[in-house]
A = this chain, B = another copy of it.
Amino acid sequence: MEFGLIERIRARVAPRDDVVLGIGDDAALLQPPPGAQLAVATDTLNVGVHFPPGTAAADIGWKALAVNLSDLAAMGAEPAWCTLSLSLPEPDPSWLDGFLDGFLDLAARHRIALVGGDTTRGPLSVCVTVHGLVAPGRALRRDGAVAGDDIWVSGGLGDAAAALALLQAADEPVVVACEAGPLLAADPDGGSGRLASLRPRLDRPTPRVELGLQLAGMAHAAIDISDGLIADLGHICQASRLAADVEVDRLPCSPALAASFEAERRRELQATGGDDYELCFTAAPAMRERIEALATGVVPVTRVGRMVEGEGVRAVDGDGAPWQPRQSGYVHFSG
């Protein structure tokens, strides 16, 4: 059941030379460049699980694509094409327009073409599949870490989880419109602005696509942080059959986060909070200068630890004492 919304989508989609046939047939036809490998990822966002009911349509559109682009970033792949499967409780052209505002804004920034999909009736749910291109041998995999590698993270950690914690501390889901500008006008947080400054990091994560492209062929392993640093770095450890030593006091912290939580709670948010969609990657120590140079002007990167023999992620505080979060797994929004 396609509600006649397909035409509404097709009218707004940007072209791309390698799209032989886009939206409107049984399948899209795409022409990959000679020799390239395809990186393919898919992720679904469900209302009440991955975003609160009442989240602005444009933010849902942005985030649904962002979490998928983040997977391409973590592979070092160049975004090319995506499909969108949208389940809606009822056809709602104005909601769809808002959704497309966010989705296509982000798509344009990364020149990824929306080439197909479907719309069906059902509880609000967005399934996106992305296709990226990467030269053979250059993809950033989870299983390539080497003992002695530095562990790096991009941007700041914990902001998205902090926003979620603030939202959940409120009695009811908080609806903040943030389609176009700063959130302060709609700040429900009594003037402190804490939620206002952190919530865009939850609703509008920035996929680190450019950083991933720069790191391809140089970093040894990478993953994007969707479930929290400790959990996601654990996947690199498992795939690479190594352990990771992480200094929690070195985890990068935004000014907004620093101003919002006391130190111990903040460390927990940084080490275990998900939804930041920063990259965690490992690379040889000999690469430190090159990595810092390539990240300049893209996104700050921070060394936070080292890959070693063994298994699992071991966190220590500034004094070298073992540090443990009170809860190790990040739980996405659940209404």
Contacts and interface: CB of A to CB of B under 8 A. Distances in A.
A15 interface: no
A27 B75 contact: yes
A95 B148 CA distance: 43
A121 B71 contact: no
B44 A27 contact: no
Interface in A29-55: 29-32, 34-50
Nearest to A226: B26
Contacts of A83: 40-42, 129
B121 A29 contact: no
Given A32-B38, A127-B42, A26 B142 contact: yes
Copy number in the complex reads 2
A131 interface: yes
Query: Which of A72, A77, A120, A136 counts the most B-chain CB atoms under 10 A from its CB?
Result: A120
A46 B124 CA distance: 11
A42 B254 CA distance: 39
Interface stretch (A17-25, A283-291, A305-313): A17-25
Interface in A58-97: 70-72, 74-75, 77, 81, 83-85, 87
A83 B1 CA distance: 22
A125 interface: yes
B1 A42 contact: no
Interface stretch (A110-118, A260-268, A296-304, A318-326): A110-118
Interface in A144-198: none
Given A27-B130, A28-B41, A45-B120, 17 more contacts: A1-B49, A20-B139, A25-B141, A26-B74, A26-B222, A26-B224, A27-B77, A28-B39, A29-B37, A29-B139, A30-B38, A40-B129, A42-B83, A42-B85, A49-B120, A50-B120, A129-B129
17 contacts: A1-B49, A25-B75, A26-B70, A26-B224, A27-B41, A27-B75, A29-B75, A34-B34, A43-B118, A44-B120, A45-B120, A46-B123, A47-B122, A49-B121, A85-B127, A123-B123, A123-B125
